[in-house]
Structure formats: structure tokens, C-alpha cells
Amino acid sequence: MFSKILIANRGEIACRIIKTARRMGIATVAVYSDADRDALHVEMADEAVHIGPAPAAQSYLLADKIIEACRATGADAVHPGYGFLSERESFAGALAQAGIAFIGPNAKAIAAMGDKIESKKLAKAAGVSTVPGFMGEITDEAHAKKIAAEIGFPVMVKASAGGGGKGLRIVHKDADLAQAIVSSRNEAQASFGDGRLLVEKFVSEPRHIEIQLIGDRHGNVIHLNERECSIQRRHQKVIEEAPSPFLDDKTRAAMGAQAVALAKSVGYDSAGTVEFIMDGKKNFYFLEMNTRLQVEHPVTEMITGLDLVELMIRSAAGEKLPLTQKDVRIDGWAIESRVYAEDPYRAFLPSTGRLSRYRPPAEEARDGIAIRNDTGVYEGGEISVYYDPMIAKLSTHAPTRTAAVDAMAAALDNFEISGIANNIQFLTAVMHHPRFREGRLTTGFIAEEYPEGFHGAPMDDAQRRAFIAAAVAAKILRTQRAGRISGALNGGHKVSDNFHVTLSGKMHGVTDAYLEVGSLHLVIDGVAMEGVVDWYPGRTQLKLKVKGDETIFQISREAGGYCLSQGGRERLVSVRAPQIAALAAMMPMRPPPDTSRMLLCPMPGLVVALPVQEGQAVKAGELLAVVEAMKMENALVAERDVTISRLRVKMGDSLARDETIMEFA
């Protein structure tokens, strides 16, 4: 067994690997860039080595720096995590030459299966069903157009190397193909150092289902069942679960057998994942193989009871698998939600900055429900523009799918994050969505259910009354506390029992409001309501129990009321005494500034394309600029016909959110 492992990665996956290595009694070495000097994985590891500037291409993607760090610290093995160098054959080869073990598959398997083009050819030769498309690398735009014409739109332009949605575009018409190729190639080159692309048919109404494999260096390969990864946005997985609510035992066995046969054909060892696309009739087609640990591996671990990182380490050390296919089980159901630094109310644009508050739900196993949180951040830490926007991976495990989904919804309501935008409300809304709860999933779920973007989960009458009750309770408790301040004039503040409450632009009358020792009574629009409140001013969570059902709100003080979040909904609820509400109604409203003659940067990022000039007339739909943020390129197009009057930025500029890029005449 290895004595010291270097983790050639960062963030949550580096922390995850350190935990298993520590449990196995193996020392760990972290590597870090300038941006990660104070990162959690650096603090957790036994040793840490600085490897360069913030951009990944100047630090985490430099194999020589990793090998130097191994030599300097005496590390005898490297775990690459996922992304970065994890699927690079040359890196595995360089480690072997240096006498350092690679905790991953052998270089031959990486070369064969890590390349989407070659792996598709091998899959077809092995009798695995494959998606229609061109079996090779596209040479230029004309070549891509020829392939698209043969197989028909829509098509997928995708990077040959890597994964995670980087370098992948769905193209619905010929006119969009050229820009898709440019953006996909740029993203692939920046993320993986490999700009090769392929084109294949996009299967309509697809499910994304993948088979987890584990092998050893003695020829043994088994599958660890499937994961359903159909909830995606921009081809980036958002929510995963195991098992799939769609598969039956027969289909699961067939997919597993094909995945194992494909892996054995290339002598595969270590952890790997064979990804399939499946239609509504359970026909499945090979997409690609990821020759590494997957982001979503926790859900497989939770239903099988296995530690995939440990199995990888033991395989790399030459040990045989400790189980056979018949030993693999499915115990209950697991759900994983990826918590991202992005704003779901602003088209999921990335967010960067300091985590002024980071309080995840407690990791525990109780009453048949388990909660796990894989993270690489901490309160007070920074979310950088240079890397993936993931904050954490929250997972729940329960005996049934419904119980796991309910547990996830509750855990998300308990997750406190402030300082940066995040997608927790969106994730919670999905947990409550009827279609998701029924398991009717496709990779188009988000686009189909939120075609105009995410604006919060809908609110029924009972939920509306709960929001009102929570805000009124907070108002009463704050006023009661103010009344107890010693030396206050006129005996302090009198607690009113009547309020005017504004929620979503509608006024509600509250009467007979009373709160004492946690017991709340009030009448909302003529309907009486009673409950129990657990909150005091300054806390960020308010608990309201009505008829035995408890609801947890995230709460913050706002002018005239409170900002409340729960169940995928965020509302500003103003609570005023009647006389104050009458005065507030007479206050003039300041209109927002007119930005119709400007192009504003929608997220912090770097200007990587600026194809227009001052004085140029641009038609609606034409490209104005491309901004790169967190390894993704975002094309900004004209919403109407405009003429560029002034360019406020230049290529290579680093921009803040809402910074002006250009002005229109």
C-alpha cells in the first residue's frame, strides 16, 4: 500500500480523496495555485505545494509541476480526481516514467476510452449500440455542415476530450453551426488542452443514464449499477440519483453487461463510467466513457455501501477487487444536488465573491435518512472566477425515492449561504416539482419546465399564509425585544396586533396577531391561523410549525419587512402597522435606470471575443461579444437591430457583473 498520495486537484474532490486516504492511514499532499492558497484542501492535507498562478493552464494542468511536487514530498502515488489531468494519457505515462503510481486506469485504457471518437469506434466494434454520427474528428466548418446534413438537425458538437459539459453545444439549424464550433473548440482547448471536436445526432427526449464500473489489474471488472443524470442545464449535470426511476432489472443487467464487456475489451482497471443515452422505449446508445472518478459518485457509494476512492487506491496498489458482481447490491435510494455559485434568477449566470455565510446541514444518519455534504469551501472563503462554480454536493439517502427527495428538500431548506448568488432555491423547487417527483425525466427537463427562466416555485394559498405568518411573527418578536431595552422612552415599543402585509404586490390584512412563548395566533384575510414559532432576532432561520408540519424559512431583515426563502421561493414580505402602511403608500417610487442603450456584462468574466467596431450596424441575433466565466464561454448577442456608438472594453479585459461593455446609438 502507498505511504503518501499527492492529489492533483482542488476543491471538493481533493477534500473527498483526503478523507479516504486519512481513514486508510495514508499521508496526503495537496497542490495549489495562487487563487487557492487559503483553500480548504490545502488546510486538510498533511503537506501542500504551490504550483503556479491562478489559471489552470499555468498550474493544475502542468504535469511537470505535479511530478516535481511528488519528488519534493516523496509521494509515491497521484490521485487526479476528475477534470484537469485525470484523463490525460501523457500524464499517466509521465508518472510511470518517474516511478510514481497513477491512481486511475492504465494509459492504454485512457487512450482508448478517454477519446470520444476512438471510444465510439471501439464500442461499435464491440457490438454496443451507438448514436448515429461521424466516426471521427471534424476537420472544419464545411465538414461539420456536411455531416449535419447527412444525419439531420439537431446535432451535438462536442469535445473529443474531457466532459462536464465543456465544449458541448446542441445546434438546431445550419446558421448556428459556425459559432458552436468556435465556442466548443475554445472551451475544449482551455479546459483539456485538446480542441478536437466530433458531431453526432442529438436524440430527442433523452434520458442520461450511466453505468459505474470498477476494475482491478487482475482482469476483473464489475458494474456498480446505474445513475440517472437527466436533470441538466447546458449539458452540465445538476441533480443525479441512484438507482434510476426508469430502469427495470432486465435493462439494468443489459446496460451493465455492455459496459463491462466494453471495459474488458481494452483491459480497463480502476473506476470508470460508461454513459448512455436512452429514449422513452428504453433503447440505449453509447455516448462516451469517462476514464476517471465521476462528480456524482457519492450516490453510488450510498446505495452500495462501497468507497470508490478506496477501491481505486487498492486497485492502483495491485490488490484484487474485494467483491464480485453478485455481491453488488442496491440499498435504498440516493439523490445528489450540485450547489453552484450561480444566480438562477439571472439565467444561471456565474457568481463570484466571498462566502460571508456558509452553513450546510449537518451530516448525519438518523431514522433511516442519511445526509452527506461533499465540499471544498468554508465560511469566509472565496469563490474564484478561475474554476468550476461548484460550492458543494449535497446528497441524501433513504429507503425509498420519495423519502430521499423529501429529505433533500428539507436539507436544502437548511442550507445557509450568503455573500454570493447560489442555486439552492432552484434545486429545492425541482424537489417539489410534480414531474420530478413522479420520475418523468429527460435531459430537457429544465428547458421544458422553465422555458422563460427560473422565477421561483409557485405559491398556493397555504404557502402564502405561511410566509405572511412567518414575517408577522418576526415583526412581533423584533418589536417585543425593542420594548425590553432598558431606558427606552415612553415605555418602549408597543406591539401592534393589526398589520398590513404586502406579498408579491398584493396587500393582505392581518388582525388579532398574538405571539407569546412561541405560540402564534393571527387572522389573515379573515382566516384564523395558529402555530408555533422558533426564532429570535439575528438568527437566519425561522421555524414555523402549523398542525404538526414544520417549515424552515431562511430570513433576513429588509427595509419595511423581511426577505423569506423556502421551498424554492424567495419573497420580500413587508409588514407595517396600518398608519405606517398609509404613509408608505404615498412615497414616490424611483424608476430603475434605463440600460436599453447598453450591453452590460451579465457575470464576472473575461472578454475573449469582441467582433464588432464602433459605428458598426448589427442585426438582431448577431454576436456582440463573448465573455468567459468559470471555464464556460457565454455568447452575448444583439436583442434587436443596433448601431455600436462606443466600445467601453477591449479584448482580455476582466469585467465585473453589470459593467458596461458597449453603448448603442
Catalytic residues: 288
Q: Which three cell numbers stand for residue 584?
A: 408608505
Phi, psi of 301 (to 5 degrees): -60, -35
Q: Which three cell numbers stand for residue 190?
A: 482551455
By three-state DSSP, how is residue 67 classified? helix
Determine how many CB atoms are found less than 10 A away from the CB of residue 644.
19
Q: Are strands 47-52 and 27-33 parallel, antiparallel or unpaired?
A: parallel
* Amino acid sitting at position 144: A
DSSP letter (8 states) at residue 164: T
560-565: long-range contacts, CB 8 A cutoff, minimum separation 24: 560/584, 561/471, 561/475, 561/502, 562/470, 562/471, 562/474, 562/475, 564/467, 564/470, 564/471, 565/425
DSSP per-residue codes, 296-356: THHHHHHHH---HHHHHHHHHTTPPPS--GGG----SEEEEEEEESEEGGGTTEE--EE-S
Q: Per 3-state DSSP, what percentage of the chain is helix, strand, and coil (rounded to 5)?
A: 30, 35, 35
Q: Residue 343: how many CA atoms within 13 Å on its side-chain side?
A: 16
CA angle 625, 342, 9 (to 5 degrees): 95
Q: Are 315 and 217 in contact (CB under 8 A)?
A: yes
Place of cell 459539459: 165
By three-state DSSP, how is residue 448 classified? helix
DSSP per-residue codes, 528-551: EEEEEEE--TT-SEEEEEETTEEE
Contacts (Cβ under 8 Å, ≥6 apart) of 229: 208, 209, 210, 237, 240, 296
* Beta-bridge partner residues of 33: 52
- C-alpha 82/C-alpha 178 separation (Å) is 30
85-113 burial string, b = 16+ CB within 10 Å, else e? bbbbbebbbbbeeeebbbbbbbbebbbbb
Q: Which three cell numbers stand for residue 407?
A: 429529505
| Closest C-alpha to 313, from 20, 648, 636, 653 | 20
Place of cell 444518519: 365
Q: Are 651 and 635 in contact (CB under 8 A)?
A: no
Phi, psi of 271 (to 5 degrees): -85, 145
Phi, psi of 288 (to 5 degrees): -170, 170
- C-alpha 32/C-alpha 48 separation (Å) is 7
**Region at 425 (left for phi over 0; alpha for psi -120 to 50; beta for the rest):** alpha
Contacts (Cβ under 8 Å, ≥6 apart) of 588: none
The per-type count for the chain, helices as H runs and strands as E runs, is 17, 39
